Chains A and B, each alone.
Chain A
Amino acid sequence: MNRRESLKALGLATATGVLLDACKPGTAGKTETVAGGDETGRQPFEVSREKELVQEKFFNAHEMATIAVLADIIIPKDGRSGSATDAKVPEFIEFIVKDEPEHQLPMRGGLRWLDVKCLNLYNNEFKSCTPQQQDAMVSAIAYPAQAAPEMQAGVTFFNKMRDLTAIGFFTSKLGIEDLGYRGNTPNNWKGVPADVLKMYGLEGV
C-alpha cells in the first residue's frame, strides 16, 4: 500500500490524493469538545474514572474566579492570540487537579496564602485588588531567584500555577495555533527545508 492508499484507508484523502479539509493544519481532528466523548481504544476503567472526575467539583467559585484572574495575568491576550481564559485554562486546571490529586493541596493552600497576603498588604482578597496591586503581588512571587524569603510559599505556588496555565493554554487549539505547530497531519516528510538548512549553516550535515 503506498502513501496515497494509506491516507484513503484512513478516510483522509480523495481519489486524486488531495487531502480533505479535515486534515489540513489547524483543522484536523473531529471537534474541540471532547469531555469524555470519544472512547476509542480506551480501557473501561479509564472511561468510568473520567466520567466520575467530571462529575466531581474541587475548586469553589471564589477559587475558580481567582484562578481565572491569575491565569490571564500569566497569559494575557495579545496581538497574536487570546488569553488563558479564552482557551478555557481554568476548566483544564479544575480537571487536572482531580486527575492528579497531588496538585490539590498546593493549589488550595497557595490560593489561600495569596488572599491572606493581599489582605495584609492591601486589605483585600487577591481577585478584588486593583490591577496595580495584583501586578505588584505577582511580581513578588514570579521571579524565584529574586523573591524575598517571606515570599517563598508564594513562589512555590506560582511556579505550579504558571506551569498548569501554560500547559492548559498551549495544548488548547488556540495555543497550538499560536505556537505554530504544523504537524499532526498526513504528509511526506522530506527533511528540513533547504532554506532553513542554509540559515543555520547545516547544509551537508
Chain B
Amino acid sequence: MGDLQIKKTGQVYEVAVIGSGAGGGMTAYTLAKAGVKVLMLEAGPFFDPAKDSRQLQWPYQSLRRGGNATRPMGDFDAAYGGWEIDGEPYTQKGNTKFEWFRAKMLGGRTNHWGRISLRMGPKDFKCRTAYGAGDDWPVTYNDIKPYYDKVDQLIGVYGSNEGLENDPDGIFLPPPPPRLGELFIKKAATGLGIKVIPGRGSVLTAPLPGNKNRGQCFYCGQCNRSCKVYGDFSSSSCLVIPAIKTGNLTVLTNAVVREIITDNNGLATGVSYVSKDDMQEYVVNAKAVVLAAGTCESARILLNSKTAQHINGLANSSNVVGKYLHDSTQTGGAVILPQLLNRPRFNEDGVGSLHVYAPWWADRQKLDFPRGYHLEIFGGMMMPSYGGYFGFEGSIVPLINGYVPDAAGKMKPGGGFGKSLKDDYRRFYGTFAGVGCHGTDVAKETNYCEIDNSVVDKYGIPVLRFHYEWGSDEIKQAKHMTETVGAIIKSLNAIPLIPPSGPENNWGLSNPGKGIHEVGTVRMGDDPKKSALNKWGQAHDCKNLFVTDGSMFVQQSEKNPTWTILALAMRTAEYILEQKQKQNI
C-alpha cells in the first residue's frame, strides 16, 4: 500500500456530527451554543451564501444563460451535486427508478431548497390511529410543538394563522402577497371548494426579532441561489456559520465518512473518513456521534459500519435500517392564461418560496385512499432564463400560438417566424401559471435502500442499491391529483400544459426520489425490534449514537419535511445535553 495509512489523532471531541444540512446544522448549533465542543464532518466544500451565492446575476452573466449542463436546476442554483455525481454512483433493483438528489456542500440541500416550512399536524404523528395507514410515531404533536415554536422564533417563517386542525399555526412573520397568475389559480381553486391560504416559508419578510446577523428579504425571488444577506434559511448561513462563531464548532470539509467506529462494548468512539483534499484516510474520536448525512447516506453509513457487535450494520439489530424509505408523491400541471396575454409589466419576483397554497382539504371518508396532498400554486413574470424550475415560456410559444387569435384578432397556424413570432413571445410572457401536487406516500417495508456489495464509489465505499415501487394508495391519490388539477384548469378556460396521464403511467406520478423529500430509513419507535431509534433519536443498540436527519421519520405527511427535521434535531440536541449532564453518555 506504499504511503497509504490511517491517520489518527489523540484529540477527543465531545460530539462528532456527520453532515451539515438541516439536521446536522441544528444539532451542532444547539450543542455549540450550550458550550459543547463539536466536530462537524461535511463531504463537500465550505459554502457561505454571503460570498458564494450567485444572487442578482443576470442570465447573460452565464455563458449557458442559466442552463443546466453542470447543475440540474440551473447554472445559478445553489446546489453542488445533483441527481448523478461523477464517481459516486448508486444502483437500482428490478424496475426501480429511484432518483437521488445529493448536494455535497456546507448546508447541503438547504442552500437551494424551496423554503416551504410546514409543521406536521396532530393526526400526522398518529397516522395509524387517525388514518389507518403507516405507523404511529413514538411522539405526539404536543411533544414537538414547543420545538416547532422555538424553530419559528430562531429561524423565522412567514405564514398566517388559520386555526386548521391538522395544519398547525405557528409564530409567523407576515406572508408575501400572491402574484397575478397565482391569484387566477387561487380564484379557480376556491370556486371548487378548495381553501387556499398564504404560503408558509422560511424567508424574513420582516426583521427577525433578536437577530442582528440576518438581513430582511428584498424580494428578488431567488431563494434557490441562496441569500447573500441571509434573508432566508440555509443551514450554512443560519446555523453552521453562527455555531462556528461560538468557538465551539470545528468543521472539517471535504471529509467523506466511511463508517462510524465502535469499541468492543458496541459504543461509538469516532468516525473514519477519507479527505477529498489529499485522499488520505483519517479517524477522529468523539464521546458521542450524531448522524445527519441525509436520509439515504445515513442509512448507507450505518449499514457500512459492520462489526462483531453490530453484524447487520450499526443500530440495525432490528434490520429496519434502509427500509421504509419514502418520498413525497408528486404530480402537477401548468397552464397558459390567455386572459393575461399582453399583461402589464411590473416587478413580480416576490419571494423564492410559496406565496399561496392549499393544505389538504378533502374528506378522507369519501375517498378510496388514506392520505392526502397539498397544492403549491405558482405563476408570474419570472426572470427569463434557460433551465431551472422557472424559465422563459419561450420554448412553448411556437407550440401554442396557433390556439389563440393574434394581435390583429386573427387565427394563424402554430409556429412561425419573424416579427409576428417575436411579438408572440412578448404577448405570452408572464401568462404561465401552475399547480404542483405534493402528497403523502405511506411508508413500506418493501421500499428500501441497501448496500450493493458489488459496486464501490471512487473512495472504495460500497454504494446504495434502491428498491422502490408506488403502492395502490399512492396511485389512487395521483388519480385524484390529476382530476383536481384538471378541474382547476378547466374552470380557468386556460390552455392546459399537462402531460397525458392515466393508469399506464401511474397518473403522472413522478419517479420516487424526485420530490427530494425522502425520509424514513432509520426510523424511530418504542419497540427496538421494529425501529432503529428511540423517541429521542438515540439508537436502541448504541446509546451514544444519535440520528437527526429525515431518516428518523416514522411516517411523513404531505407537509414538506424540513421544519420537522429542524424541530426534531433541536429536541435531540437538548436531550444529548441533558444526558451529558447526567453523565449517561
Contacts and interface: CB of A to CB of B under 8 A. Distances in A.
Interface of A: 1-3, 5-7, 9-10, 23, 25, 28-30, 32, 34-36, 38, 40-41, 43, 45-46, 49-50, 53-54, 73-76, 78, 92, 95-96, 99-100, 138, 142-146, 159, 162-163, 166-168, 170-173, 175-176, 178-193, 196-197, 199-200, 202, 205
Given A5-B215, A10-B229, A28 B417 contact: no
Contact of B59 (A95, A143, A171): A171
Given A28-B56, A187-B347, A175 B384 contact: yes
B186 A1 contact: no
B221 A166 contact: no
Query: Which of A36, A46, A183 has the largest number of chain B CB atoms within 10 A?
Result: A183
A5 B216 contact: yes
Q: Chain B interface secondary structure, helix, strand, loop or mixed?
A: loop
A78 B422 contact: yes
Nearest to A43: B80
B398 A159 contact: yes
A173 B211 CA distance: 38
Contacts of A205: 183, 186-187, 190
Given A163-B394, A168-B65, A186 B215 contact: no
Given A187-B218, A189-B177, 14 more contacts: A1-B211, A1-B216, A6-B215, A75-B422, A159-B398, A162-B421, A167-B395, A173-B58, A179-B384, A183-B348, A185-B56, A187-B347, A188-B219, A202-B187
Give the residue among A143, A170, A202 with the most B Cβ atoms within 10 A.
A170
Given A189-B351, A202-B184, A196 B414 contact: no
Given A6-B216, A176-B58, A182 B347 contact: yes
A142 B220 contact: no
Contacts of A193: 344, 346
A130 B177 CA distance: 54
Majority SS at the chain A contact face: loop
30 contacts: A2-B216, A3-B217, A6-B231, A10-B218, A29-B57, A32-B61, A45-B70, A53-B63, A74-B417, A76-B418, A96-B64, A99-B67, A142-B416, A143-B415, A145-B402, A162-B417, A162-B421, A170-B425, A173-B60, A179-B384, A179-B426, A186-B218, A188-B218, A189-B219, A192-B177, A192-B178, A196-B344, A196-B346, A197-B183, A200-B180
B56 A183 contact: no
Given A28-B58, A178-B426, A144 B218 contact: no
Contact of A1 (B57, B212, B385, B426): B212
Top 7 A-B residue pairs of the complex, sorted by shortest distance between their CB atoms: A191-B177, A6-B215, A41-B52, A183-B349, A186-B218, A180-B345, A189-B219
Contact of B63 (A5, A54, A175, A184): A54
B408 interface: no
Given A143-B414, A189-B177, A74 B421 contact: yes
